[in-house]
Amino acid sequence: MNRRPPVLALIGAAVASVLFSVLLLEIALHVVGYPRTKTSHQRFYVEHDPQRGWRNVPNADGWFSTDEYDVHLQYNARGIRGPEIPYDKPAGTYRVVILGDSFIEGYSVNREDRVAEQLEKLLSEQDPSRKYQVIALGTAGYSTDQELIWLESEGIKYQPDLVVTMFYMNDVWFNGQSKYWRGEKPAFVLDDGELKLTNVPVPDPNAGKKDKKKDKESGRGLKHWIRANSKIVALISLSLENSPGLRGAATSLGLVAPRDDEDDDNGPRVSDELSVFQKSPPADTQRGWTMTEAILDEMDAVAQQAGADFVAFHIPFKGVVYPADWGPILAKLGIPQDQLDPNAVKQHFDAICKARDLDCIEPTAEYVRVAQTLKDGQRLYYVQDNHWNPGGHALAARILAKKVEELSKRGGTRPLAPRG
């Protein structure tokens, strides 16, 4: 007479079979490298710089992966994402130097999809008789002050015909600060109406940081280690991104990390950066606007002295282009909705351009218009990430191409404006 195996033995065998299958799947996913390990911020490609605070690591090469994009990043010997272009400009070449932050570094899109590369392609198609080169001096986290320093030390060496700075709303706060979540940074102050650079050389923030990170990681335990290293957990997380309800349940069970459980440095409070949308912003924000105006004016002067036109381009905030995103994003401020003005940044930017007689592009209305005409599922910005997707970069390139055409018809650089 056959005796049936004990129930516990059957359960044990089933559990062992499942665990073995899970192990095989984990190994297979690691072998094929899918999904890629999320890197949160591209901090692996950044190092200290005594003049600008930080810079991209020269000749760095690697991947930057999040839940929404998977991008191969390559930097040249000057720490610039893209090919190394000689400073000497070939005869008959029209050069555009674009300065900016992560939008211009473009770590959220493939290099050929960035505004710089798309602009160069559009310009070449518009005028095949002329050679165009667009050089993107973009580094994540930079504000307008660091872009001015980079323009003076590097940008003008390329002998640009046009200098474009891509202004973003969080530039305002950090143009008045000497610290960012990446570490300390240079900061300008106004001395009798003149810009004076302070906090340079910038202190190196890396001393003792490795030990602190090691202590922090040692206390996180097995659950965090699994979330950080398991490809299966990463696959589950990726699958749940478009299902908020399921993700919430998985988070409560500890299967995926909460949104704010990242390996990033301690960043500034969200309210600091977004305070530019308050109807009655704090004094530091107002000071940031004062510094922003002076820095943009100085960038214009530096470009003109180098024989180049200057254009300031306002990158619209995602929550302004997509009103449905406005509430959830700005709710982090913790202040009533009626104390916020989505048009505040646009209005301040326009006022600076008028007061300083700057050539500016304020494309918010165009971004809103195009966003409303796109089919369902098509966007100009990512859903979770606040950066442009390839469509957002393409629109910026089209707008800038029209500006270059306008400048060429106007006949070159406008005469130097009186200072003061």
Domain membership flag for residue 49: yes
Residue 354 has a CB neighbour count (10 Å cut-off) of: 10
Same domain as 251, residue 114: no
Residue whose entry in the numeric block shows the structure tokens 């696959």: 235
Q: What CATH number is given to the structural domain containing 164?
A: 3.40.50.1110
pLDDT (0 to 100) of residue 335: 66
Checking if the pLDDT of 285 tops 60, the result is yes
Own/partner pairs, 197-200, CB within 8 angstroms, 24+ separation = 197/149, 200/50, 200/51
| 338-376 confidence digits (pLDDT tens) | 888 999 999 999 999 999 999 999 999 999 999 999 998
**Angle, CA of 304, 310 and 312, to the nearest 5°:** 145
Largest CA distance in the chain: 107
pLDDT (0 to 100) of residue 248: 60
pLDDT (0 to 100) of residue 418: 43
Same domain as 240, residue 131: no
* Euclidean distance between CA atoms 34 and 188, whole angstroms: 45
**Residue 328 burial class via C-beta count within 10 angstroms: exposed 0-12, middle 13-18, buried 19 and up:** exposed
Checking if the pLDDT of 238 tops 90, the result is no
Domain membership flag for residue 4: no
Same domain as 49, residue 22: no
97 contacts 158 by C-beta, under 8 angstroms: yes
Q: What is the pTM of this model?
A: 0.81
pLDDT (0 to 100) of residue 255: 54
53 contacts 183 by C-beta, under 8 angstroms: yes
Q: Give the domain range for residue 95.
A: 44-207+278-410
Domain membership flag for residue 272: no
pLDDT (0 to 100) of residue 409: 81
Same domain as 239, residue 139: no
Peptide bond into 201 cis (omega under 30): yes
* Euclidean distance between CA atoms 35 and 32, whole angstroms: 9
CA 202 → CA 47, 180, 350, distances in Å?
12, 12, 32
| 140-185 confidence digits (pLDDT tens) | 999 999 999 999 999 999 999 999 999 999 999 999 999 998 889 9
Task: Phi first, then psi: give them for residue 140, nearest 5 degrees.
Answer: -55, 135
| 369-410 confidence digits (pLDDT tens) | 999 999 988 999 999 899 999 999 999 999 999 999 999 888
Checking if the pLDDT of 241 tops 70, the result is no
Domain membership flag for residue 161: yes
* Euclidean distance between CA atoms 157 and 151, whole angstroms: 9
pLDDT band per the 50, 70, 90 thresholds, residue 261 = very low
pLDDT band per the 50, 70, 90 thresholds, residue 53 = very high
Of residues 113 and 225, the one with the higher pLDDT is 113
The residues near 137 (Cβ < 8 Å, ≥ 6 apart) are: 80, 97, 98, 99, 100, 104, 147, 150, 151, 154, 155
Same domain as 291, residue 349: yes
Domain membership flag for residue 273: no
Number of domains within the chain: 2
Same domain as 109, residue 231: no
**Residue 230 burial class via C-beta count within 10 angstroms: exposed 0-12, middle 13-18, buried 19 and up:** middle
Domain membership flag for residue 215: no
Same domain as 366, residue 245: no
Same domain as 397, residue 250: no
Average pLDDT over residues 98-123: 97
pLDDT (0 to 100) of residue 217: 44
Same domain as 186, residue 260: no
pLDDT (0 to 100) of residue 266: 45
CA 36 → CA 24, 32, 232, 288, 403, distances in Å?
18, 9, 11, 38, 39
Domain membership flag for residue 6: no
- Radius of gyration of the chain measured on its C-alpha atoms: 25
pLDDT (0 to 100) of residue 267: 43
CA 178 → CA 101, 159, 352, distances in Å?
17, 30, 23
Same domain as 320, residue 233: no
Tell how strand 309-315 and strand 360-361 pair up. Answer: parallel
pLDDT (0 to 100) of residue 138: 97
Average pLDDT over residues 326-341: 74
Give bridge partners of residue 163 from the DSSP assignment.
Answer: 97, 310
Domain membership flag for residue 326: yes
Same domain as 284, residue 246: no
Same domain as 282, residue 240: no
